């Protein structure tokens, strides 16, 4: 007989009690704000499917970084839009590329902000795939050197952390070797270790102009049906030298986040991706959902599942909401 002795509602009676027994306290300390860097100056264009998110030139990026740092968000992750795309995505490693210049400018501003860069080719290739192609096949090994060169160019510009998102096999080892060879031993690698082939990247591909021009990404990104395979991917990336790992997307993969957390004792990130953000924004605009409550519930659930680092387009709003209690 448990009732009436046991009454769990006793601890839900007031906010003081609820706060006192709360298991997960969402904080700003693990938030990462994603940003899209365009060529040119004074560019600031809103992404139509992601209200509040902009493609911006370096000058505007730096302005927003002041705001991001002011809000107590510890890190940004940068995605680049090239001037020109080609077969091998050569602008990904250009010393004067938009991302590389943005890193330097943020460094120059001396903000209290970690700079993470996404390392991938899909924004830079004419075919929109994350590696080089032969006909319709995405080649693994020839892509590694290109990815490593992109990471090196980010490190040279001053990135704190590079984050490969391409899902080629062996890229963490290739990037680690390249960075070490050039004495960037202290640049950390946050590997998108378990990245699924997801419909929830749709709005991002508009923001980053990176939709594949033929086929899809199923031959390199993971099958959404697999969770045990994620543990293997994580294990391989850690063996190759990843310092931190990521599960992406977040919401349909909370079980994967949880399993990775249970199995591995390294900093774990989750990416609350563009489609997840767009759904909340669209429903809120229609008055169908309370944006603040929904976004905070989502972020709390990602942290509760086990991710201590959360990449999210809600970061600025969340930081404001958390500041005001």
Residues near ligand PBG (CB under 6 A) are 118, 120, 122, 130, 165-166, 201, 204-205, 273-274
Residue with Cβ nearer ligand PBG (93 or 273): 273
Based on the residue annotation, tell me whether 110 is a catalytic residue of this protein: no
Q: Which of 85, 178, 195, 316 is catalytic?
A: 195
Q: By Cβ distance, which residue is nearest to ligand PBG?
A: 204
Residue where the block lists tokens 């601890």: 11
Q: Which of 248, 292, 316, 323 is catalytic?
A: 248
Q: How far is the CB of 160 from ligand PBG (least distance, A)?
A: 18
Based on the residue annotation, tell me whether 195 is a catalytic residue of this protein: yes
Q: What is the DSSP annotation of 220-257?
A: TSBPTT-SHHHHHHHHHHHHHT-SEEEEESSGGGHHHH
Residue with Cβ nearer ligand PBG (26 or 130): 130
Burial pattern 176-205, b for ≥16 Cβ within 10 A else e, equals bebbeeeebeebbbbbbbbbbebebbebbb
Q: How far is the CB of 205 from ligand PBG (least distance, A)?
A: 6
Residue with Cβ nearer ligand PBG (33 or 184): 33
Q: How far is the CB of 22 from ligand PBG (least distance, A)?
A: 29
Residue with Cβ nearer ligand PBG (11 or 137): 137
Q: How far is the CB of 175 from ligand PBG (least distance, A)?
A: 15
Active-site positions? 195, 248
């Amino acid at each position: 007989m448990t009732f009436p002795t046991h009454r769990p509602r006793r601890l839900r009676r007031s906010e003081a009690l609820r706060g006192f027994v709360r298991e997960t306290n969402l904080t700003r300390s693990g938030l990462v704000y994603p940003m899209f860097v365009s060529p040119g100056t004074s560019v600031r264009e809103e992404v139509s499917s992601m209200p509040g998110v902009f493609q911006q030139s370096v000058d505007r990026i730096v302005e927003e970084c002041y705001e991001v740092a002011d809000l107590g968000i510890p890190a940004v992750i940068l995605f680049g839009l090239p001037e020109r795309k080609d077969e091998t995505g050569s602008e990904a490693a250009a010393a004067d590329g938009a991302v590389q210049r943005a890193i330097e400018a943020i460094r120059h501003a001396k903000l209290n902000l970690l700079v993470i860069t996404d390392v991938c080719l899909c924004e830079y290739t004419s075919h929109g795939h994350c590696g080089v192609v032969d006909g319709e096949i995405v080649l693994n090994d020839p892509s590694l050197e290109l990815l490593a060169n992109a990471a090196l160019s980010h490190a040279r510009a001053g990135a704190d952390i590079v984050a490969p998102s391409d899902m080629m096999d062996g890229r963490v080892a290739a990037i680690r070797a390249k960075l070490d060879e050039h004495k960037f031993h202290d640049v950390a690698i946050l590997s998108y270790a378990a990245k699924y082939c997801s419909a929830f990247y749709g709005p991002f591909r508009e923001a980053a102009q990176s939709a594949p021009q033929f086929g899809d990404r199923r031959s390199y990104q993971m099958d959404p049906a697999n969770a045990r395979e994620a543990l293997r991917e994580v294990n391989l990336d850690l063996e190759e030298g990843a310092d931190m790992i990521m599960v992406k997307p977040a919401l349909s993969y909370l079980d994967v986040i949880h399993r990775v957390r249970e199995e591995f004792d390294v900093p774990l990130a989750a990416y609350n991706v563009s489609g997840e953000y767009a759904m909340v924004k669209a429903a809120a605009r229609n008055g169908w959902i309370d944006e603040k409550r929904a976004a905070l519930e989502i972020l709390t659930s990602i942290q509760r599942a086990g991710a201590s680092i959360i990449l999210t387009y809600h970061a600025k709003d969340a930081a404001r909401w958390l500041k005001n209690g």
